[in-house]
Amino acid sequence: MKQRVLFVCLGNICRSPAAEAMFRMLVASKGYADRFVIDSAGTYGGHSGERSDVRMRRAAAARGIEMTHLARQVRQEDFERFDYIIAMDDNNYESLFRLAPNREAGRRIYRFREFLRNHPDWSYVPDPYYEGHEGFELVLDLLEDGCQALLEECLKGDDSLR
Ligand code: 4NP
């Protein structure tokens, strides 16, 4: 069975598409590409159809990560389709909870911070939209940390992947 992971932020043009691209690359590097469905979405639909923010794409490209996602808003089907629905910050988490159709779906909503291992000072992935270059680098540092632990978690949850 495939593991289905959806990363969620506000606009779906910075943090969550970067998480999606980074996690996809990590999974592929371990040889598990065909065992995962990986996607991202935003709680706000104002950027739907757009490519990711060029500053995020450039910062990711400098680390060898290509971002090709087109922004979309979270939809009701996402709550049935994904095993891990992972919010970048508390606002995204609360928005997802409000949208979740039932309690069972609510149990599949996580905060990205649950997967951080090496950043004790960060309890969320900060919105880089109004920040300078360092804001985008920080997002990538946090994503690198959390994506490792997320993969370990997914492998634990699926015996066929070990
Ligand atoms: P993201 O960043 O949630 O990481 O994609 C943002 C992108 C756009 C806006 C806010 C945050 N915005 O307000 O348009």
| This prediction's pTM | 0.97
Q: Are 86 and 110 in contact (CB under 8 A)?
A: yes
Rounded percentage of the chain residues whose pLDDT exceeds 90: 95
Query: Which CB contacts under 8 angstroms, 24+ apart, belong to 148-151?
Result: 148/26, 148/117, 149/115, 149/116, 149/117, 150/5, 150/23, 150/84, 150/86, 150/115, 151/23, 151/26, 151/27, 151/30
Q: Determine whether 83 is an active site residue.
A: no
Choose, from 4, 9, 39, 108, the residue flagged as catalytic. Answer: 9
Closest atom of ligand 1 to 56 CA is 4
pLDDT at res. 1: 85
Closest atom of ligand 1 to 15 CA is 4
pLDDT at res. 120: 94
Q: Determine whether 9 is an active site residue.
A: yes
Q: Is the CB of 57 under 6 A from ligand 1?
A: no
Q: How confident is the model at residue 160 (pLDDT cuts 50, 70, 90)?
A: low
pLDDT digits (tens, 9 = 90+) for 70-93: 999 999 999 999 999 999 999 999
Q: Is the CB of 9 under 6 A from ligand 1?
A: yes
Choose, from 53, 78, 89, 127, the residue flagged as catalytic. Answer: 127
